[in-house]
Amino acid sequence: MEGQRKRRWIAAAVVVILVIVGIRVGKNLMEKSEQAKSSGRGKVVTVTAGHPKRQRIEPQLRFSGTLDPIWQADVAAKVDGRVERVLVDEGEQVDAGAVLAILEQTDTGAALLAAEGAYYEAQARLNKATADYERQAYLFAKGGVSKEELDNAQFARDNAIGALQSAEGHLAAAQSKQGGTTVTTPRGGVVQKRYYQEGYYAKVGTALFNIADISALSAKIAVPEGYVSQVAVGDAVAFTVPSLAVNRQQVMGLIAHISPVAESGSHTFEATVTVDNRDGRLFGGVYAEALIVARPQENVLTVPLSAIVMRDDQRTVYVIDDGLAVRRVLTTGYIGEDVVEVLGGITEEDEIITGGLNKVREGIQVRTVEGASAE
């Protein structure tokens, strides 16, 4: 009996201890809950708000880059040889076909003379072989020579024809090599670089000059996928060139080509813009800022740029839902100086926070005011 009473007392004590611990844990949880409410829902932030707006926009696409020569290439040596004469200086304007330099002609001249001699000799042999064959053919018709003699004459003539063709090939090669000693430009432009001086030895394929045609300049710009349908070949592009005098900084260009295939990764389309530079006021390679005004778009859903909050490289806005700030990720299109095109993520019915965003956090209570700066 004594043992049973002792066990009952121990069980009762354990129950009492568990009840006390449970009461204390519950109290702590309630206190933490109240603290969370006071720091979250209990705190009210004053903001300004509004609804997304549909309006007409005229997208202005801005780019920066360089205006490069429309054509630029190295002019290389076609034969091995020492540079005998250089006829142009850097910065000099040259026409297509102009002679830029002359390489020494000693070896090539001798080779050309030998090829010419071989050609004339082969021509003379063919003339003789042709005359012999015609004479043998005449005699064969009269019964004066045998068929074998006629065949031998024909064989000699055919060999002479082959020898002449071979001599013609050697002569053409020698003439080409001789012509290679005269270095010419295939296109007109400005002598951008002169790599070799007189007396230097140049190998075949060695660049001797760099020629740039700056009568027109071109720039490559990347048109976003969402706006490639809003621009077209022939559209005007305004360039601002800081290096020009203040009153002449803006020049106009035209879109000459738009790639039909988007760049992988960026999903942009490369467009080539050309600028007429026949007056020579622009230098090739100058920095420029480009502006394209795309075709206007009607009834576009927009939000103020001030409403955008960047989170994890995503454009987001805070929507007011039952008095709480709820973050929404946007799909955006055109981004202007003060407005952003919305392609997805919110609707016109949503109320978004436009001011006081510095104190707004996910789930916080907000109070809106009209026409006032948010606190």
Report the C-alpha gap between 106 and 181 in whole angstroms.
Answer: 10
**pLDDT > 70? residue 177:** no
**pLDDT > 80? residue 119:** no
The residue type of 339 is: V
The residue type of 347 is: T
Structure tokens given for 65? 């880059």
Radius of gyration of the chain (CA): 44
**pLDDT > 60? residue 166:** yes
Report the C-alpha gap between 195 and 208 in whole angstroms.
Answer: 5
**pLDDT > 90? residue 95:** yes
Q: What homologous superfamily is domain 62-68+214-297 in, according to CATH?
A: Efflux pump adaptor protein, beta barrel domain (2.40.30.170)
Nearest CA-CA partner of 284 in 189, 355, 183, 214: 214
Q: Helix axis angle, 147-180 relative to 106-142, nearest 10°?
A: 160
Q: What is the pLDDT of residues 233-255, one digit of tens each?
A: 999 999 999 888 767 788 999 99
* Neighbouring C-alpha atoms within 13 Å toward the C-beta of 63: 21
Classify the C-alpha dihedral 207-210-213-219 as positive or negative.
positive
Question: In this predicted structure, what is the pLDDT of residue 354?
Answer: 93
pLDDT confidence of 33, banded at 50, 70, 90?
very low
Least confident span in 26-30, 200-204, 311-315, 365-369: 26-30
**pLDDT > 80? residue 319:** yes
Report the C-alpha gap between 277 and 189 in whole angstroms.
Answer: 12
Span 340-354, mean pLDDT?
94
Question: In this predicted structure, what is the pLDDT of residue 22?
Answer: 55
Would you tell me how many other CB atoms lie within 10 Å of the CB of residue 1?
5
- Give kind and range of the element (H or E) at residue 333: strand 331-335
Instruction: With beta carbons less than 8 A apart as the criterion, state whether 190 and 214 touch.
Output: yes
Sequence-distant (≥ 6) Cβ neighbours of residue 103 within 8 angstroms: 77, 79, 81, 82, 83, 84, 180, 181, 182, 183, 202
CATH fold label, 44-57+298-368: 2.40.420
The domain locations on the chain are: 44-57+298-368, 62-68+214-297, 105-180
Report the C-alpha gap between 354 and 177 in whole angstroms.
Answer: 76
**pLDDT > 50? residue 49:** yes
Average pLDDT, the chain: 83
Question: In this predicted structure, what is the pLDDT of residue 252?
Answer: 94
Nearest CA-CA partner of 180 in 307, 78, 27, 286: 78
Q: What is the pTM of this model?
A: 0.57
**pLDDT > 70? residue 99:** yes
**pLDDT > 80? residue 208:** yes
105-180 is a CATH 1.10.287.470 domain? yes
Question: In this predicted structure, what is the pLDDT of residue 19?
Answer: 53
